[in-house]
Amino acid sequence: MDIPGKSLKEISETLPGTGHKYMEMDLSQLSQHSKIFEMAQSMAPLAALAHCAAVSRRRADVDDVTEADWDIQLDTNLKVTFFLNRAARTSFRSHKSTGSIINFVSQAWWSGGYGGSVVYAASKGGVVSLTKGLARAFAEDGVRVNAISPGGVDTPMMVSDQTPEALAKFVSMIPLGRLANPEELVGAVLFLASDASSYVTGTVMNVSGGQLMY
């Protein structure tokens, strides 16, 4: 599920097997969230939601941040997460099933970000707090809520608006010495989505190549 339909089609064609479905949707349209779960439940009982949609408006300095920068990051990264998580719990509940919700955050939730990226960091810090609170609220329905905190991942959002020098400096702070491939996060998602983590809720799993240690 994403806004650009072309990339979704391309991704679906690379997946093994058949019957994969994708949906074009602007997640800021909160009233549309239920359609996601209706489609998923039409295929098979819903087992998990992995929510990784986010936006970043990287600015050099705090003084460069605009109100529009603030609004889009807090709305997309935090507000949408709350309402999407709640819609997932509603779907689990209506089908009398248990399940897992996995929210993606960022190592910035811990570091606080740098310069103009503090707004993005604040939005992800909010998602961490939200994840913990919803884990407590949803537990009575058998719905677990956890978060994955990646470090630098080789995606367009990570590399598109950085100079080569800035990116190299960022990578130099990662003990493993490189950005993660998106596929390297799959194992963490599968663990939190499966019964292997049946007693895990309200936690943040650090998958940062050693960049974040605490």
Q: Which of 22, 120, 199, 214 is catalytic?
A: 120
CA distance 191 to 6: 29
Task: Output b/e per residue, 147-166; b: 16+ Cβ within 10 A.
Answer: bbbbbbbeeeebeeeeeeee
CA distance 146 to 130: 10
Phi and psi at residue 3, to the nearest 5°: -80, -50
**In a 3-state reduction of DSSP, which class is residue 160?**
coil
Q: Which helix (H) or strand (E) holds 204?
A: strand 204-207
CA distance 78 to 7: 24
Q: Is 22 a catalytic residue?
A: no
Active site residues: 120
